[in-house]
Amino acid sequence: MEDAVGLCANDFKQNNINLELALATNLPEVTIDDVQIEQVLLNLIRNSIDALKDMPQNPQRQILIQTRLKNPFQIEMSVNDTGSGIGEAIKEKILTPFFYHQTNGTGMAYLSAGPL
Ligand SMILES: Nc1ncnc2c1ncn2[C@@H]1O[C@H](COP(=O)(O)OP(=O)(O)O)[C@@H](O)[C@H]1O
Ligand SMILES: [Mg+2]
């Protein structure tokens, strides 16, 4: 997570975004594909940056990245931002592969499920 955040440091700076990283301590070890998880995290962070960059500067644009032990077998990582949030229409489709909303977004690949 620290690596992913490091890769976005410039974007945070350029867009005047305050990043808070709240990583839980004492998490159990998990077996993951660290490259894949980093990609997921980068995508979520990029979504947050996109959501924030058109927001007013005041109040402060913020991203909060957290980890927590959800239950004894699951670690949850979350990315929250102070953007306008995800609209209901988008929420319904957001987990559909290849759905994207922004004209420059990818939704994983440059394919579209059509207009909203
Ligand atoms: N943090 C966020 N705040 C507001 N809207 C978001 C956020 N994350 C995702 N979205 C909305 O959900 C859409 C789909 O996101 P995603 O699947 O990552 O595709 P992409 O970012 O390539 O458009 C985005 O285009 C955007 O409209
Ligand atoms: Mg995205």
Q: For 28, which DSSP code?
A: P
Whole-model pTM?
0.84
Yes or no: say if 61 and 15 are a contact pair by the CB < 8 Å rule. yes
- The CB of 61 under 6 Å from ligand 1? The reply is no
Q: Whose CA is nearest to atom 21 of ligand 1?
A: 105
Opening angle at CA 83, ends 116 and 14, nearest 5:
110
Work out whether the CA dihedral 56, 109, 11, 46 comes out positive or negative: positive
Q: What is the pLDDT of residue 97?
A: 80
Q: What is the pLDDT of residues 47-91, one digit of tens each?
A: 999 999 989 999 999 999 999 999 988 999 999 999 999 888 888
Q: What is the pLDDT of residue 41?
A: 96
Yes or no: say if 20 and 39 are a contact pair by the CB < 8 Å rule. no
More confident residue, 10 or 112: 10
**Which residues crowd ion ligand 2, with CB under 5 Å?**
43, 47
Q: Is the pLDDT of residue 112 over 90?
A: no
Kindly list the structural domains of the chain, giving each domain's residue range(s) and its CATH number in brackets, ordered by start: 2-84 (3.30.565.10), 86-116 (no CATH)
